[in-house]
């Protein structure tokens, strides 16, 4: 729990309230209305802050990118290993059993890592 908290910083847009009141007369600002795909012409009150999705705590942008890149990278590795396995099996390579054992362990650990971490995020 402490590790997750360290990655967040108080949202400056909504002063940690999670509700945007940066517009006129404490209405929600245009940016947040746009974030919720609402018309700019109308005024909305108490919209969830679009900067932090209404939780009052925002993630640094790099953290968000990491969370998106890691699963993609992991899936890319798994995909590549599967292609290699397929190619080796087709060509009847003598190293196929070794490669199968190696990539099987690697794919297993990548998937295990991905699933245990995605639950916390």
Site for Zn ion in 82-121 (CB under 5 A): none
Q: Decide if residue 59 touches Zn ion (CB under 5 A).
A: no
Q: Tell which one of 5, 6, 10, 22 touches Zn ion (CB under 5 A).
A: 22
Cβ contact 81:103 at 8 Å? yes
Q: Decide if residue 33 touches Zn ion (CB under 5 A).
A: no
Stretch near Zn ion under the rule CB under 5 A, chosen from 13-21, 76-84, 96-104, 106-114: 13-21
Burial class (CB in 10 A: 0-12, 13-18, 19+), 26: exposed
Q: Decide if residue 27 touches Zn ion (CB under 5 A).
A: no
Q: Decide if residue 81 touches Zn ion (CB under 5 A).
A: no
* Binding residue count for Zn ion, defined by CB under 5 A: 10
Stretch near Zn ion under the rule CB under 5 A, chosen from 24-32, 60-68, 73-81, 91-99: 24-32
Binding residues for Zn ion, per CB under 5 A? Answer: 11, 13-14, 20, 22, 29, 32, 49, 51-52
């Amino acid at each position: 729990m402490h590790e997750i908290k360290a990655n967040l910083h108080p949202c400056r847009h909504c002063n940690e309230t999670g509700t945007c009141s940066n517009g006129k007369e404490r209405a929600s600002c245009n940016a947040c209305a746009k974030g919720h795909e609402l018309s700019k012409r109308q005024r909305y009150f108490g919209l969830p802050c679009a900067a932090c999705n209404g939780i009052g705590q925002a993630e640094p942008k790099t953290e968000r990118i990491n969370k998106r890149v890691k699963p993609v990278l992991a899936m890319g590795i798994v995909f590549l290993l599967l292609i290699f396995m397929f190619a080796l099996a087709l060509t009847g390579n003598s190293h196929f059993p070794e490669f199968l054992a190696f990539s099987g362990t690697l794919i297993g650990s990548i998937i295990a890592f991905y699933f245990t971490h995605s639950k916390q995020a």
